[in-house]
Amino acid sequence: MLPICGTQGRPATGGDREGRTVAYNTILYEIEDGLLTITLNRPDRLNAYTRELGGEFIDAIDRADEDDSVRAIIVTGAGRAFCAGADLNIGADGKASFSDDHTTGVKRDGGGLVALRLFDCKKPLIAAVNGAAVGFGATHILPMDVRLAADNAKFGFVFARRGIVPEACSSWFLPRVVGIGTAAEWVYTGRLIGAEEACAKGLVSQVLPADKLLAEARRIGREIADNTSAVSVALSRQMLWSMLTADHPMEAHKLESHGVSAMKATQDGYEGVASFLEKRPANFTLKPSTDMPAHYPWAKPRSFD
**Of 186, 201, 225, which marks where a domain is finished?**
225
Residues 65, 192: one domain?
yes
Residues 235, 221 within the same domain? no
pLDDT confidence of residue 23:
85
- The parts of the chain modelled with pLDDT lower than 50 are 1-19, 21, 92-94
Longest Cα–Cα distance of the chain, Å, equals 63
- Would you call 183 exposed, middle or buried from its count of C-beta atoms within 10 A (0-12, 13-18, 19+)? buried
Do residues 136 and 52 share a domain? yes
Are residue 42 and residue 189 in the same domain, yes or no?
Answer: yes
Q: Tell me, what's the pLDDT at 236?
A: 98
For the chain, what is the domain count? 2
One domain, residues 279 and 209: no
Cα distances (angstroms) measured from residue 205 to each of 56, 72, 113, 202, 234 = 27, 17, 25, 6, 21
CATH number at residue 136: 3.90.226.10
Choosing from 167, 193, 225, the residue where a domain stops is: 225
As a whole number of angstroms, the distance between CA 197 and CA 12 comes to 41
pLDDT in tens, 25-62: 999 999 999 999 999 999 999 999 999 999 999 999 99
pLDDT of residue 126: 99
Which of 176, 202, 225 is the last residue before a domain boundary? 225
For residue range 224-251, list pLDDT tens digits in order: 999 999 999 999 999 999 999 999 999 9
- Same domain for 104 and 218, yes or no, is yes
pLDDT at residue 15, as a whole number: 34
Boundaries of domain holding 262: 228-305
